[in-house]
Amino acid sequence: MQIINKKTLNLLIIVLVLTGLLLGAFAVPTNAGAPDDSYTIERYHSENFSALSTTNIAWQNKTTISFTPPNNAYFLLISDCVIGAEFARDPVQARLFDGSTPYNEIKYTPKLANSESSFTSHRVLSLTADTTYTFNNQFSSVGGDNVSIRDSTLTAIQLSDNITAEHNAIQSTTNTDYTDALTLDFTGDGGDYLIIANADTTNSNNTRETITELYYSTGTASWGENIYSPYIGEDYGNFFIFRKLTAASDAQQFKIRYKASGNTASIRNAHISAIDLDDVSDIQYAESEAVSSNSTLPGVFQDKATLTFSPVAEGNYSISMVSLINQSDTGGEIHSAEITDGVNFDTQIYTPDDVATYIVSSHSDVFSVNNTSHTYKTQFKPVSAGTASMKNSRIIAIRMNTCESYFDSAHTTVSDNFTNLTGTLYFWAQGLSTNTDYKVSYYDHDGDKISSDVDVTSNANGTLATEFDLSTDSGAAPGANWRAAVFTSSASPPTTWDAVSGTTGFIMADRFHVEASAIPEFPDLIAAIAVTGSCFAIYIWMRKRRPAYVYSKT
Amino acid sequence: MSTQKLRIFYIVSLVILVVLAASLIFRPLETGHGYSELQREQLLQTESEWIIQFDILNHEGKRQHYTINVIANGKEHNEEVSIENGRIFSYIHHIRRDTSNNKDAQFVIYAQGKNEPIEQVTYHLK
């Protein structure tokens, strides 16, 4: 009896060959990638932290934010940056610009080459649906010298209320007692408010100061006094203060007041806004009001205000910090810093011309945080000489809208890791307008748009849910940096991810990782070679074996 | 079948295998003229909306740019997409009943470089 004959052997080889070819036809390249943490980009936030220099006296854009609200709404717009110059005494200008009107504008002349100034501005705006709005942080050289800007951010947050007052025209006084520049009256609803005050201030004489304060009339209390002396008379400096008003009921009144230490004090572009914190969720706030001083050299950073909190869920937070800083020695510097979880996210060095000055040190940015404890601090120290002081230091964290990918349709299990060709990704976004249409587009590892969900509607809570079938496209490349991006209904999601951030109507995005399927597959060539080699090996092995014959005697 | 014939058949099959293996290296398989295809076209209805969905498959032999033009509820959408050869793009469009004008929803899909749309569908929504 033959164990196997040539006919069977040949058929076996043919079957193996055909099987190998079929396996090769379904080859998918394997691609292992490292898992990535998910992050979200909040609504209407733009940032550019790199330093940009220019000698141009024409205004240059540093950061631009452009968006199209889906509904008529109020928006809080906040801009922030740090400006300086390559050499001492070279003036630099900065402004927040809407295309036709500067909202705030300052000119800063550093005493020393590494001395810098914060520039922060805000507005509460009434915006129209389906209209595109563009705002720019701009800077320019005054005399054609090399000047710089860095750490520039722009953030727009939709509000339900519009409690704001403004007086943009120039006002002046020689009064050495406080004069009202602007008054905001409103009736509180018993909840908390964020009070923001902003203006450009100057004095006609560079040896005199203009003192500006945010005054809480109802409580007869000063909420921060800024003392500014221009390097050149009439050069405007930045006045910016915010503070949380707690459990405000009945009539409330705030003022921006100003006075001169001598000569003429002037103020322009004055704004006060009361932001109802019921509009946003999970507000965190900390402050340290009294003056703290530090004269120990070499300087070591001293903590001023500290905010520690654990978010209810991971997501994006807008973190804003503001302090008033002073250096007692015109030969010394004060180094102020804003710290996130032990890491500097902004530092500023300031050298005064006038030891009486208390200027603004501020920064605003958006961070993606997980639901563990996080700590934010303001800090300061002297450099080389004198006593550094800091007061009225405040930190606020505001949860922004966010989105995330989930394993389940009930959105209880967040996942940033999925497997190619299997299952469904459940995408969920929060903090959007209610009962409003949006577009959600998905981009794969290569940055190609592979799916769009058009006119999907948010619910009465402002949440949005879509799904993505991971088995739709067998050719999709597994790997990191897959994304789901949310756009307004009127937006045109671009064909590639690279263009998304600059697309009008882009709101936010989530990043996730898609791993290769668990069944390994091989490239066509390797499959063919492996099968061919296997065929030969089997053939040679079978040839070496001798069939056993059983003879039967008849 | 005689042993000799089997041997010949076996040798021929090995030769074919070698040729196929070589062709993977030197000459990719071609399937003839390129084309684009729609799959999984469907119209779904829920209490609150209609959902229209389809997949675009690119068999053009090269990366192809498409435009999906939609006119529904008095609004016009244009979706631009670039699909690599052999790949799929999935499109879903929601039409709310509460804002619907109960008129037709028209979908036209163009492939760049082609005069005629690759697909034109009108859905009568009521």
The interface predicted TM-score (ipTM) is 0.78
Query: What's the confidence (pLDDT) of residue A495?
Result: 95
Q: How many residues does chain A have?
A: 554
CA dist A477 → A37, A169, A442, A514 (Å): 19, 58, 13, 8
Q: Does B112 touch chain A (CB under 8 A)?
A: no
Tell how strand A374-383 and strand A302-309 pair up. Answer: antiparallel
Q: Does B3 touch chain A (CB under 8 A)?
A: yes
C-alpha distance from A497 to closest chain B C-alpha (Å): 12
- Would you list which residues of chain A are within 8 Å, Cβ to Cβ, of chain B? 6-7, 10, 13-14, 17, 21, 24, 437, 448-457, 469, 472-473, 475-476, 492-496, 524-525, 528-529, 531-532, 535
Residue found by looking up tokens 């296997």 in the block: A534
Among partner residues A7, A24, A448, which is closest to B82 by beta-carbon distance?
A448
Task: Tell me the one-letter amino acid at A33.
Answer: G
Nearest CA in chain B to A452: B91
Closest C-alpha to A266, from A225, A241, A224, A233: A233
Bond preceding residue A494 cis, omega within 30 of 0 = no
- Report the distance separating Cα A306 and Cα A52, nearest Å: 31
Among partner residues B49, B70, B89, which is closest to A451 by beta-carbon distance?
B89
The reply to whether residue B84 touches residue A448, judged by beta carbons under 8 angstroms, is yes
Among partner residues A7, A452, A494, which is closest to B91 by beta-carbon distance?
A452
For the record, the structure tokens of B19 come out as 């040729």
CA dist B13 → A142, A201, A540, B2, B8 (Å): 82, 90, 16, 17, 9
Judged by DSSP in three states, A153 sits in: strand
The reply to whether residue B6 touches residue A450, judged by beta carbons under 8 angstroms, is no
- Report the distance separating Cα A181 and Cα A423, nearest Å: 62
C-alpha distance from B94 to closest chain A C-alpha (Å): 5
Which residues of chain A have a CB within 8 Å of the CB of B88? 450, 472-473, 475
Closest C-alpha to A303, from A393, A407, A169: A393
Nearest CA in chain B to A453: B92
Please give the helix or strand (H or E) that residue A155 lies within, else none. strand A147-159
Let me know the angle formed at the C-alpha of A303 by A299 and A309, rounded to the nearest 5 degrees: 150
Among partner residues A437, A472, A532, which is closest to B55 by beta-carbon distance?
A472
Nearest CA in chain A to B6: A7
The reply to whether residue B92 touches residue A454, judged by beta carbons under 8 angstroms, is yes
CA dist A319 → A78, A395, A461, A532 (Å): 11, 7, 24, 63
C-alpha distance from B88 to closest chain A C-alpha (Å): 5
Phi, psi of A433 (to 5 degrees): -70, 150
- Please enumerate in sequence order all residues whose Cβ is within 8 A of that of A168, keeping only pairs 6 or more positions apart, or say none: A268, A269, A270
Please give the helix or strand (H or E) that residue A531 lies within, else none. helix A524-544
Q: Does B111 touch chain A (CB under 8 A)?
A: no
Torsion, Cα of A157, A163, A168, A174 (10° steps): -130
Torsion, Cα of A302, A307, A313, A316 (10° steps): -70
Among partner residues B6, B24, B83, which is closest to A525 by beta-carbon distance?
B24
- Please enumerate in sequence order all residues whose Cβ is within 8 A of that of B36, keeping only pairs 6 or more positions apart, or say none: B56, B57, B58, B59, B60, B64, B66, B111, B118
For the record, the structure tokens of A336 come out as 């102020």
C-alpha distance from B78 to closest chain A C-alpha (Å): 7
Q: Does B77 touch chain A (CB under 8 A)?
A: yes
Instruction: Give the number of A-B residue pairs with CB atoms closer than 8 Å.
Output: 102
User: Which is more confidently placed, A266 or B42?
Assistant: A266
pLDDT along chain A (554 residues), means of 10: 57 58 40 25 69 95 82 86 92 96 94 88 89 93 94 86 93 97 95 95 95 94 94 93 92 97 97 85 88 91 93 73 93 83 81 89 81 89 91 89 78 76 84 82 93 90 85 79 87 90 76 71 57 71 63 50
Q: Does B89 touch chain A (CB under 8 A)?
A: yes
The reply to whether residue A475 touches residue B87, judged by beta carbons under 8 angstroms, is yes
Give the count of beta carbons closer than 10 Å to the beta carbon of residue B33. Answer: 8
Task: Please answer whether residues A37 and A124 qualify as being in contact, where contact means their C-beta atoms are separated by less than 8 angstroms.
Answer: no
For the record, the structure tokens of A500 come out as 């998304």
Q: Does B11 touch chain A (CB under 8 A)?
A: no
Judged by DSSP in three states, A495 sits in: coil
- Report the distance separating Cα B114 and Cα A136, nearest Å: 41
The string of pLDDT tens digits covering residues B11-31 is: 888 888 888 878 766 655 555
Query: What's the confidence (pLDDT) of residue A549?
Result: 54
Task: Starting at the earlier edge strand, list the strands of the sheet with A402-406.
Answer: A402-406, A424-430, A464-469
Closest C-alpha to A84, from A18, A12, A141, A31: A141
Task: Please answer whether residues A188 and A252 qualify as being in contact, where contact means their C-beta atoms are separated by less than 8 angstroms.
Answer: yes
Task: Tell me the one-letter amino acid at B105.
Answer: A
Give burial (CB, 10 Å; 0-12/13-18/19+) of B124.
exposed
Number of H helices, E strands in chain A: 2, 35
pLDDT at B85 over 80: yes
C-alpha distance from A456 to closest chain B C-alpha (Å): 6
- Report the distance separating Cα A542 and Cα A3, nearest Å: 10
Q: Does B125 touch chain A (CB under 8 A)?
A: no
Q: Does B21 touch chain A (CB under 8 A)?
A: yes
Let me know the angle formed at the C-alpha of A482 by A476 and A486, rounded to the nearest 5 degrees: 120
C-alpha distance from B23 to closest chain A C-alpha (Å): 10
Among partner residues B82, B89, B94, which is closest to A454 by beta-carbon distance?
B94
Which residues of chain B have a CB within 8 Å of the CB of A10? 6-7, 9-10, 13
Nearest CA in chain B to A523: B24
Tell how strand A449-457 and strand B88-96 pair up. Answer: parallel
Per DSSP, A279 falls in state G
Query: What's the confidence (pLDDT) of residue B24?
Result: 67
CA dist A415 → A31, A406, A484 (Å): 20, 5, 13
- Report the distance separating Cα A351 and Cα A330, nearest Å: 6
The reply to whether residue B92 touches residue A492, judged by beta carbons under 8 angstroms, is no
Query: What's the confidence (pLDDT) of residue A42?
Result: 35
The reply to whether residue A473 touches residue B95, judged by beta carbons under 8 angstroms, is no
C-alpha distance from B118 to closest chain A C-alpha (Å): 18
Task: Please answer whether residues A385 and A264 qualify as being in contact, where contact means their C-beta atoms are separated by less than 8 angstroms.
Answer: no
Task: Tell me the one-letter amino acid at A108.
Answer: Y
* Alpha-carbon A425 to chain mean position: 25
The reply to whether residue A475 touches residue B79, judged by beta carbons under 8 angstroms, is no
Q: What is the mean pLDDT of residues B43-64?
A: 92
Query: What's the confidence (pLDDT) of residue A40?
Result: 27
Give burial (CB, 10 Å; 0-12/13-18/19+) of B48.
exposed
Q: What is the mean pLDDT of residues B6-15?
A: 86
Task: Please answer whether residues A388 and A234 qualify as being in contact, where contact means their C-beta atoms are separated by less than 8 angstroms.
Answer: no
- Please enumerate in sequence order all residues whose Cβ is within 8 A of that of A396, keeping only pairs 6 or more positions apart, or say none: A194, A242, A244, A283, A284, A285, A307, A319, A320
Tell how strand B64-72 and strand B75-83 pair up. Answer: antiparallel
Beta strands of A68-146 (E only): which ranges? 73-85, 92-97, 102-108, 117-127, 133-141
C-alpha distance from B114 to closest chain A C-alpha (Å): 19
Residue found by looking up tokens 């079948």 in the block: B1
C-alpha distance from B89 to closest chain A C-alpha (Å): 5
C-alpha distance from B24 to closest chain A C-alpha (Å): 6
Among partner residues B9, B17, B82, which is closest to A532 by beta-carbon distance?
B17
